Each structure stands twice: as structure tokens, then as C-alpha cells.
Amino acid sequence: MQFFETILWPLRWLVELVLWAWHWLFTAIGMDPASGVTWVLSIIGLVVVVRSALIPVTVRQIKSQRRMMDLAPEMKKIQDKYKGKKDQFSREAMSRETMALYKKHGTNPFASCLPILIQMPVFFSLFYVLRHAAEKTTGIGFMDARLTESFNAASIFGAPLKMTFTQGWESGNWMVVTLLGTIMVLMIASQFFTQLQIMSKNVSDETKQSSMYRQQKIMLYIIPFAFLFSGVAFPLALNIYWFTSNLWTMGQQYIVIRNMPTPGSDAWRARQARLKAKGKLSDDEKQADDAGKGSTSPQGQRQQPMSAKRAKKKK
């Protein structure tokens, strides 16, 4: 554990700086330094700083995730091509074709995980900062004795911010249990809704027929429940940070899907309709809109090519 604390030292220092800055600001405008509201607002301020810095990475992640789902049909072709072939040559050829496909589309399966991978060190840095404060140990930078004492005294609706679900249960502080239970439910709901926005609105019709999409739908119902662990194991203050970050993600996802939807998806068709109604649809977008509506031939059948000789006879 000491090893991770040492590695995270620079981030812990930055987390303390941001918390101190927001706490100082709210105290300067007349708020009680030991108030739970002051500390909750300071934690929300930390979320704003971290997530604002990650906007470029998050937008890239959303686009990468979209491209990964779009190339699912092509991935399936490669998998079918080498299905049942377990020799080393076939595995290497499949790997080369897969990497070439990722390069062609400008994505890779790890790009969609980048924002969460960047956020986790910040999350654990905050965990160490708050844990030391709860143990009445001063921090490594701006979390001095005065600020540490202030955090230890902070509570909201009678629930100390330093307490975990387990501590609240064992001590009989039912307000901690109630607040953390509520936050857990809201975190699961917000994570589910965030993923649902992508799955239901921002996926092309072709991708919805792929096996990758069906696997993603299964994960949609599993991943959100990981927040049960964080709700029980981490203090109220840390859960407030994660829940606020979830709300940011949900709002950011909505904006991105509304303004940069996947072509051929429900969100894309809704955007085309909005632009068309306002007369703001460009020529390129009109062509894409017409192409997205599909063929206009009867019963959706493709018009058969006709030779010049047959066309002459028909006239």
C-alpha cells in the first residue's frame, strides 16, 4: 500500500491543492470551513477541474467507442474467415488483419478505456488524502492540521463525510447508511443510463445486428453493479466525488451524442431532422440523409441493371 501512495505522491499533492483552493474560496465568501456543504462543494469543484481537463480525451474515447462498434461487422468477417483454424500461422494472420482494421479506422480496443484509466489514479489519490485526513494525519502539501480538523468535523444531514457504509452500519449512524445506499442506487442508475444512451441512440442499424453489440448489451446490465463495492468500501466523501463524476459523464455523453452522432443511428436521424427543420442541412448532409433513407425502389428491391440493347427494345 505504501508503494502506491509513493507512486501517487504528485497526484495527491495536486488533489490537496485543488481541494484547498476550492475550500479557501467557499470559506472566503462566508461559508463555514467545517460545514459538510463547504466540503461537498469543494469535492464537486475537484470533479469540475479533473473532468474539464479530460474533455479532449473523453471526446476521443466516445468517438473511438463509436468506431469500434461500427467496425463490428468487418471484425466478424475476419473471425469467420479464421474460424476453427488454431494453427500459429492462422492466428498471426488474424492478428495482422485485425490490427490493420484498427489502423484503417483509426481506433483500438483500449482507447475507449483511456478516460477511466486516467481517472482511477486521481480517484485513489483522493482516497489516500481523505483516509489520512480521517485518521487525523496531515497531508503532504496543502492538507494541513487546520484543514484536516475541518474535514473530520464535516457532516451533511448528520452523516460524517469520513464514514463508510460499514462504519455507519456498525455505529448505528443510519443517516450514513441511508445516504450511501441512495448514492449507490443513483450511481448504478446513472451508469446504466449513460451506457443506454450509446446503445439505444448512437449505434448504427448495421452494428445492432452484430454479435459485439449483443455482448455490449449484456455488459450494460452487469457493469453498473460494480458501484456496490465502492459504495460499501469507500467513505461518503469519495462516493460523492464518483457520483458527481458520473453525472458529468452522463451530461457530456448527451451533448456529444446530440451534436456528433454516429451516421445511420437514431441520434443521427434525429439530428438530421432538426437541421432540416431549421433549414441548416448542408449539401453533404443532405446527400448523407438521402443515402440513409435507403433505396426508393418498390419493396426495397435493388434496380437490376439493363443492357443498352434491352433498353432500346423496351422503348
- Give the pLDDT of residue 244: 92
d(CA 32, CA 151): 11
pLDDT band per the 50, 70, 90 thresholds, residue 65: low
Instruction: Fill in the DSSP letter of residue 158.
Output: T
Asked whether the beta carbons of 239 and 230 are under 8 A apart, the reply is yes
Q: At what angle do helices 174-201 and 211-220 cross, to 10 degrees?
A: 160
Cβ partners under 8 Å of residue 130, min gap 6 = 151, 162, 235, 237, 238
Report the range out of 20-24, 127-131, 241-245 with the highest average pLDDT: 20-24
CA distance 313 to 315: 5
Shortest CA distance to 237 belongs to which of 29, 6, 21, 45?
Answer: 45
Helix (H, G, I), strand (E, B) or coil at 294: coil
In sequence order, what are the residues at sequence separation of 6 or more whose Cβ sits closer than 8 angstroms to the Cβ of residue 198?
65, 66, 253, 257
In angstroms, the CA 42 to CA 130 distance is 13
Report yes or no on whether pTM surpasses 0.75: no
Q: Which residue has the higher pLDDT, 21 or 86?
A: 21
Q: Residue 71 belongs to what H/E stretch?
A: none
Q: Which of 161, 215, 219 is nearest to 191 (CA)?
A: 219
Across the range 270-299, mean pLDDT stands at 62
pLDDT at 127: 85
Please, which pLDDT band fits residue 292 given cuts at 50, 70 and 90? Answer: low
Domains of the chain by residue range? 2-82+93-279
Mean pLDDT of 162-170: 87
List, for residues 100-149, the tens digit of each pLDDT value: 877 776 666 666 566 677 778 888 888 888 888 888 888 888 888 899 99
